[in-house]
């Protein structure tokens, strides 16, 4: 018999909406799951807004204080989809209350906080998972399979960029993602965290880094009103931008591969351009999130007259991960489906009494890379990830 996991979600904006959609749709598309989520309560400080979100997204009820949510006897899993400055306290409290934890990335705003979260979860014996959803893109999962099968041989290079342009207008307001005390960092923690996790997942652990960053717009109008998604309405007064606008870094992997990483929100024309390329002794792999149903693959083992990149449409349920739950081959899926896949894997892990992945230990390792890059910028030198 399948189990039912009562979920309490903290956050009702961008990520709260994405996670709510995943909980709502998972059972519909994955009827073979070993456990199913029950949408018990969503939490937010604005009662009028969170009540409306609960009704719209399909939650049974709502709370305006995350402490009450965590303390409820009818909550099994606490989902933390609120800003980074809240992750640590909520996760610690959830662990102490014996709740499983699903936390948005990056795990925390500092390595120290991340380590404390991991320690608390381990001591409590609860399941813990970080929401690096791009591991659940079928094309990325296929890339993992090709690497494990030795299709590209020994890996030499990883190069990745995560490019957006939504704050390129200097009059765009000072939202929380541009405030260090709330977000922890700019595109480094928001975007580089994703491609660091993908690099660790596909290539291996990172041993040392060196980086450079810049804040192009030093002041912005204060927020007058928060809007849906990433939007906001600007007021007349201005405040200081306290995070970087762009961060680039080079990396050495423990297995000898070299890597480059770039994250910016000042790449005009790039809306959500998360792209990586992996070069190996036998071939190469290329992925771009803006074409998430496709994976480019090149093999040096093909006959010379047909060598070249081929584009694989990753939509065949008989051969590609997760796709059997969706549509016939060629009928593409979208960004939101990665969250459904996350919830499916999380539910099954809890039902099997297994640790889901990526877990808080992965979150700590990613946080160590993030922090080592920041230290390298400050010291203008290479920094080993083991030394932060």
CATH number of the domain where residue 273 is located: 3.30.360.10
How far apart CA 374 and CA 372 sit, in angstroms, is 5
Note whether 126 and 229 are same-domain residues.
Answer: no
Give the range among 24-28, 50-54, 176-180, 307-311 with minimum mean pLDDT: 176-180
Note whether 125 and 192 are same-domain residues.
Answer: no
How far apart CA 42 and CA 53 sit, in angstroms, is 8
pLDDT digits (tens, 9 = 90+) for 253-295: 999 999 999 999 999 999 999 999 999 999 999 999 999 999 9
Report the interhelical angle of 111-124 vs 84-96 (nearest 10°). Answer: 20
Whether 235 contacts 271, CB under 8 Å: no
How far apart CA 150 and CA 145 sit, in angstroms, is 9
Total structural domains within the chain? 2
342 in a structural domain:
no
130 in a structural domain:
yes
75 in a structural domain:
yes
Q: What is the pLDDT of residue 223?
A: 85
Residue 337, SS3?
A: helix
Question: Which residue, among 192, 166, 160, has the nearest Cα to 267 in the 3D structure?
Answer: 166
The average pLDDT across 299-314 equals: 97
pTM above 0.75, yes or no: yes
80 in a structural domain:
yes
Note whether 16 and 122 are same-domain residues.
Answer: yes
For 274: left if phi > 0, alpha if psi spans -120 to 50, otherwise beta; the answer is beta
Q: What is the pLDDT of residue 237?
A: 87
How far apart CA 200 and CA 191 sit, in angstroms, is 15
pLDDT digits (tens, 9 = 90+) for 315-363: 999 999 999 999 999 999 999 999 999 999 999 999 999 999 999 999 9
384 in a structural domain:
no
Note whether 128 and 216 are same-domain residues.
Answer: no
Segments forming the whole domain that contains residue 18: 3-134
How much is the mean pLDDT over the chain?
A: 96
Note whether 180 and 321 are same-domain residues.
Answer: yes
pLDDT at 173 over 60: yes
DSSP-derived secondary structure letter, 22: H
Note whether 148 and 211 are same-domain residues.
Answer: yes
Note whether 168 and 123 are same-domain residues.
Answer: no
pLDDT digits (tens, 9 = 90+) for 188-227: 999 999 999 999 999 999 999 999 999 999 999 998 766 5
pLDDT at 378 over 60: yes
How far apart CA 376 and CA 382 sit, in angstroms, is 6
Note whether 121 and 147 are same-domain residues.
Answer: no
**Confidence band for 231, pLDDT divided at 50, 70 and 90:** low
Which pair of structure tokens corresponds to residue 86?
Answer: 């809240």
**Strand-pair category, 383-384 with 128-131:** unpaired
pLDDT digits (tens, 9 = 90+) for 62-120: 999 999 999 999 999 999 999 999 999 999 999 999 999 999 999 999 999 999 999 99
360 in a structural domain:
no
Note whether 129 and 194 are same-domain residues.
Answer: no
pLDDT digits (tens, 9 = 90+) for 52-68: 999 999 999 999 999 99
Last residue of a domain, one of 88, 105, 134: 134
CATH number of the domain to which 97 belongs = 3.40.50.720
Note whether 125 and 235 are same-domain residues.
Answer: no
Q: What is the DSSP string of 157-203?
A: EEEEEEE--TT-STTS---GGG-HHHHSSSHIIIIIHHHHHHHHHHT
92 in a structural domain:
yes
346 in a structural domain:
no
Note whether 301 and 195 are same-domain residues.
Answer: yes
Note whether 152 and 36 are same-domain residues.
Answer: no
Last residue of a domain, one of 134, 160, 176: 134
Last residue of a domain, one of 80, 100, 134: 134
Which pair of structure tokens corresponds to residue 217?
Answer: 């717009």
């Amino acid at each position: 018999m399948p189990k039912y996991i009562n979920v309490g979600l903290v956050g009702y904006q961008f990520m709260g909406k994405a996670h709510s959609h995943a909980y709502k749709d998972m059972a519909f598309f994955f009827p073979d799951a070993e456990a199913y989520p029950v949408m018990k309560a969503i939490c937010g400080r604005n009662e009028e807004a969170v009540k409306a979100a609960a009704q719209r997204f399909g939650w049974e009820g709502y709370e305006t204080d995350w402490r009450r949510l965590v303390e409820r006897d009818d909550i099994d899993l606490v989902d933390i989809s609120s800003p980074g400055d809240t992750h640590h306290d909520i996760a610690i409290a959830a662990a102490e209350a014996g709740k499983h934890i699903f936390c948005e990335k990056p795990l925390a705003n500092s390595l120290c906080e991340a380590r404390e979260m991991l320690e608390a979860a381990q001591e409590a014996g609860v399941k813990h998972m970080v929401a690096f959803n791009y591991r659940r893109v079928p094309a990325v999962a296929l890339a993992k399979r090709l690497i494990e099968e030795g299709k590209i041989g020994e890996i030499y290079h990883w190069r990745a960029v995560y490019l957006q342009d939504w704050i390129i207008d200097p009059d765009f307001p000072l939202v929380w993602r541009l405030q260090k005390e709330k977000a922890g960092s700019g595109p480094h923690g928001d975007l580089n965290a994703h491609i660091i996790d993908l690099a660790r997942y596909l290539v291996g652990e990172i041993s040392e880094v060196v980086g450079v960053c810049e804040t192009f717009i030093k002041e912005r109008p204060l927020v007058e009103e928060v809007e849906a998604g990433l939007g906001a309405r600007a007021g007349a007064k201005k405040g200081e931008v306290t995070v970087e606008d762009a961060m680039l870094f080079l990396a050495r992997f423990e297995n000898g591969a070299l890597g480059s990483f770039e994250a910016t929100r000042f790449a005009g024309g790039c809306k959500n351009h998360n792209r990586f390329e992996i070069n190996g002794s036998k071939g190469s792999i290329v992925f771009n999130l803006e074409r998430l149903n496709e994976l480019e693959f090149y093999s040096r083992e093909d006959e010379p007259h047909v060598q070249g990149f081929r584009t694989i449409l990753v939509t065949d349920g008989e051969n590609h991960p997760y796709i059997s739950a969706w549509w016939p081959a060629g009928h593409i899926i979208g960004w939101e489906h990665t969250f459904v896949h996350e919830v499916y894997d999380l539910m099954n892990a809890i039902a099997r009494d297994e640790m889901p992945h990526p877990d808080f230990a992965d979150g700590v390792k990613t946080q160590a890379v993030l922090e080592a890059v920041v230290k390298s910028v400050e010291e203008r030198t290479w920094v080993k990830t083991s030394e932060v």
